[in-house]
Structure 1
Amino acid sequence: MVNWVTDLMQTAGAPGAALAIALENLFPPLPSEVFLPLAGFTAAQGKMGLFDAILWTTFGSVAGALVLYWIGAMLGRDRVRRIATRMPLVRVSDVDRTEAWFLRNGYRAVFFGRMIPVFRSLISIPAGIERMRMGPFLAYTAAGSLLWNTALILAGYLLGDNWHLVEQYVGIGSKVVLGLAVVALGIFVVTRLSRRRDAASAREQHSDQLG
């Protein structure tokens, strides 16, 4: 993957970097913490301008986020609620609480979410589901992406041949974020199963008392 992106950037320059970052947005497992420092290193070699690298990768980030926004918009609130009713351990009330949280924090979530690995892509989907106004969505997405992209591209530019060190340190942050998400999911599942067992036990006790 790194070799492919390297060839893409050296062949197409900054627009190639934009394409790589757009794909990274659409497929979160692709690592921006590799692509962006690599773009900075490529700029340091004179294959593209530093400003061009920042500008084009931010454009790619916004383009990828916009595709995910429209995927969320096509799903829509009603369809998501119907999907929730078919998912084990998930209630429609969970969707309602998530929706209420997003309505309160939507703009902040989009801005700061653009700087959190993995979630930087996924945050665009609930924005689409809630049909966040397009102007603010694009503005907050561009601002958050600009900060993230600039930091990683500059790091790769300044580190030169050691640009890969950025991935090592940012990768630790990505693993921490994913680890916390897994822990949160585990707590949710255990809590929900425990509540179901307690409810079933209460029903059995009530039935025995009536009997």
Structure 2
Amino acid sequence: MTEKEIETQTEENNAQDLEQEQAQIIMTWFQHMNEVMKAQFPEYEVEGQIGNNPTYGPMFAFTLKKDEKFTSCGFFLNEIMRNFQTNPNAGLWLSSFFVDLLRSPENHPLPNPPQTEDQAKELLDKHIVPYCASAVREEFPDQKIYVDLELNEEHGPVLEAGFVAVQDGNNTCALPLQYLMTLFLLNRDPAEPLIQAMYRLYEENNLGQA
């Protein structure tokens, strides 16, 4: 075996080791979250699944079952790790996403992802974008809100929002449409991160002060 072949073999082995290590980390977190869900919802049967998004990485989805009713919700591993490493009430944070869904009498399976570009465009244009725009405006009824679609060089199409009253400095926030759609497909509120970003702008620009 030549020196170059040895180097290549070593690189392949290292890559395999890293892949196995990452898979083990993902599985460890998944098992931990499964136990957290069971502790938060002892009266429900808990089922979990692991997925991967090419842009946003590993994702977990959990389904609560009781009698004939079931409710599903999904999460990004990176947000789970961030919350469970910094938030002392991370279990409540995790369970909070299910509480509103459980109040509803309907079942809540994960939405079926669009199968074509046209379906994806329709979902964004007719549901996700109008919903997010409406939710942001409802959250700040005393402010004129700017909401529009823009094209970002790094992230592609984004939904941009801002306060009309703020002319200078950091006056807008933007989230990729792909991220908003991913949240929707996880049974999450796609407007929530946009509203959180708007609150940061609201506070930074002292808009709540008379």
Q: Tell me which interval the TM-score lies in, with the shorter structure as reference length.
A: under 0.3
Work out which structure has the larger RCO, using CA pairs closer than 8 Å and 6 or more positions apart in sequence: 1
**Structure holding more strand per residue:** 2
TM-score normalised by the chain length of structure 1 = 0.27
TM-score (norm 2): 0.27
